[in-house]
Amino acid sequence: MKRKNGKHQEHTIQGKGDEVHQIAGGGVPTLTTQQGIPVSDDQNSLKVGPRGPTTLEDFHLREKIFHFDHERIPERVVHARGYGAHGYFETYEALTDLTSADLFQRAGEKTPAFVRFSTVAGNKGSADLARDVRGFAVKLYTQQGNWDIVGNNIPVFFIQDAIKFPDLIHAAKAEPDRDFPQAQTAHDNFWDFASLMPESMHMIMWIMSDRAIPRSLRFMEGFGVHTFRLINAAGKSTFVKFHWKPKLGMQSVIWNEAVKINGADPDFHRRDLWAAIQSGNYPEWELGLQLFDDKFANEFEFDILDATKLIPEEQVPIRRVGRLVLDRCVDNFFAETEQVAFCTSNIVPGVDFSNDPLLQGRNFSYLDTQIKRLGGPNFTHIPINAPKCPFHNFQQDGHMAMVNPKGRVNYEPNSWPSPEGGPRESPTTGFQSFPAEEQDSKIRQRSETFADHYSQARQFYISQTKTEQEHIANSLVFELSKVEKLAIRVRLVSHLPHIDVELADRVAKGLGLHEKVQPAKAARETRTDLKPSKTLSIVQNPPKSFAGRKVGILVTDGTDRDLFDALIKAIEAEKATFEVIAPAVGGAKASDGTMIEAQQKVGGGPSVLYDAVAVIPSAEGCQPLLKNAAARDFVSDAFAHLKFVGYVESAKPLFDKAGIDIDGGFIALNKAKGPATFIAACRKLRQWDREQFVIT
């Protein structure tokens, strides 16, 4: 082929050739293709002359573009937006009486772990603070293989049988003709489905509560949802439900606050988890077990195989048996968080399934899903999914095989001696399924023991404080107000009298339903003898300290340096963190002439990003803030979101300008003990008494 200018074109970086060679000679590894072939020029494709067509033989170009084109794998159908971290699980005590699972055999045993948190309905690009269930999936790399506890931050679910899962998710996702709304259930399809599925009403109470808008991934509970079995060495079975209890306590946000957080920082949850781990404030949860036998299962008011039901902790107390610590962020989000594959079917000897029909369906679905997402059956070869214990089998070949089997034997049984004959089954140490006796007809039928759809929904509702009940009512009104079809609104509200008549009336009134809504037909009458369970309320289970939370400190030029330092000291003594907000991100000059470094500028650090705020401008520095809409929003939002506010006298003009009346949630910092008093007040997290005076 002729060259247009008749001259050979060298493959060099124009104007940078010598510089690149100098850099490459300084100990930096040489760039190669994925086949290990050294690359001479990564700046120019191979062309016929400097302005000619690109050649088909440019293998480096083709490989580079090919790999780029395939950088994205199909995102998860559900739980697409997730964030993960590494850590370990430490056993408090040996549980040999309950299970033969290796990680529970020795007190102090530390098992490597990877945890992925997620939302359910939104895509990868959605925001963190959507009103949604949160996935809480834990992979434990035990010495007997990988054990996945694939759960949520809510202990019950919408449906009782896995065959309805595609319908649930189709209804909850964006409507297929218009592809919106994204990461929201406030639309006709979801509420149409829910209104026709009375079994979902318990879960509806949970997702309309503050549980569905957690303040942080670090401040929420996790649940295994289903009933499982623990099996000891003698073959004895004990039923178990798994709970993860956050050591920092629970905390949620207010809906108006969640909406504004999504606008200010859609990565709020993942940024919070990353920052906590990077700063050494490692999040911790305790693993709690609810343990019960066949006698309790037979006498309990509801069926333990029904995933729309829970067992109140007052009836079966939680036994805390270990702690989960997240102490390392991922090195690469895609390689680890995006490619991690959880399967409910991944259990270890000493753990077994129950006949929960939702769990049984998940055991099929998850493996099939991972094969689709990750390209084939060898997704277990990916490092984040591979066991950390030795593993041996005769599985071979398949798409993207990354383990190279050796030897001639690839079948079993075989007569070849060890080691050529390969691994053998072990009746003594291998997984043994619990020999439960099963004898019945093959039918498509729901158990009558699953028929009570309202009693536990009522129990959850009456277990909430008045404030939390109001939030549930407001959430229902908001969601249903987005439903265009009146019949769907009416049908959904018709379920509420079975839960609470006052709730039904409040929602009906909020939606402007003028005719009295007739209660839906109930398969079983609601039980009114179930007592409130205090553990179901967030407000009734406040944290013991303000640890792990963040204070936003608004400063200006002239801010009192001694006060600022005292405030920081009080915050750090509580093991909380802080960010400084100033008129300019460069910071502010304090009263003593030193600079106070700022992490945010007014407008870039709204108060929704903090658990409490301190407003400590100088009198002179406060004047420009009066004309600054972002500064006024900073204090008015803090007030509306019921946050505690530390302040100095010179900040009062800003409060007046924002139309704020100082109440008991405002703590003066001018006094010597002001900072300590402010932080002590913050332990309550919210000034709930204020809510009756504001609309959130």
Separation of alpha carbons 101 and 144, rounded Å: 8
pLDDT in tens, 266-302: 999 999 999 999 999 999 999 999 999 999 999 999 9
Please compute the mean of the pLDDT values over residues 174-199 and round it to a whole number.
96
Sheet holding 612-615, edge to edge: 600-601, 577-582, 550-554, 612-615, 645-647, 666-668
First to last CA, the chain: 73
Domain 550-693 has CATH 3.40.50.2000: no
* Number of C-beta neighbours around residue 492 at 10 A: 24
Using 50, 70 and 90 to split pLDDT, how confident is the model at 5?
Answer: very low
335 secondary structure, DSSP code = I
Separation of alpha carbons 260 and 237, rounded Å: 49
| Residue carrying the six token digits 């911790």 | 284
Tokens of 520: 């839906």
Marked catalytic residue, from 152, 153, 378, 474: 152
pLDDT in tens, 139-152: 999 999 999 999 99
Domain positions in the chain: 17-69, 82-381, 550-693
Tokens of 434: 């619990």
Q: Which fold has domain 82-381?
A: Catalase HpII,  Chain A, domain 1 (2.40.180)
Separation of alpha carbons 457 and 204, rounded Å: 8
Structure confidence at residue 14 (pLDDT) = 35
Q: Which residues contact 619 (CB under 8 A, 6 or more apart)?
A: 558, 650
CATH of domain 17-69: 4.10.91.20
- Residue 69: helix, strand or coil by DSSP? helix
* Number of C-beta neighbours around residue 300 at 10 A: 15
Using 50, 70 and 90 to split pLDDT, how confident is the model at 26?
Answer: low
| Residue carrying the six token digits 């084109």 | 69
pLDDT in tens, 352-375: 999 999 999 999 888 888 988 999
Tokens of 18: 């010598």
Using 50, 70 and 90 to split pLDDT, how confident is the model at 18?
Answer: very low
- Structure pTM? 0.92
- The candidate with the shortest Cα–Cα distance to 236, out of 357, 106, 104, 96, is 96
Marked catalytic residue, from 60, 79, 243, 453: 79
| Residue carrying the six token digits 């309320």 | 537
**Percent of the chain residues past pLDDT 90, beyond the cut:** 78
CB 644 within 8 A of CB 687: yes
- Share the mean pLDDT of the chain: 93
- Assess whether 243 carries a catalytic annotation: no
Tokens of 629: 């809409």
Tokens of 168: 């649930």
Query: Does residue 371 or residue 335 have the better pLDDT?
Result: 335
pLDDT in tens, 509-567: 999 998 889 999 999 999 999 999 999 999 999 999 999 999 999 999 999 999 999 99
- Assess whether 11 carries a catalytic annotation: no
CB 339 within 8 A of CB 384: yes
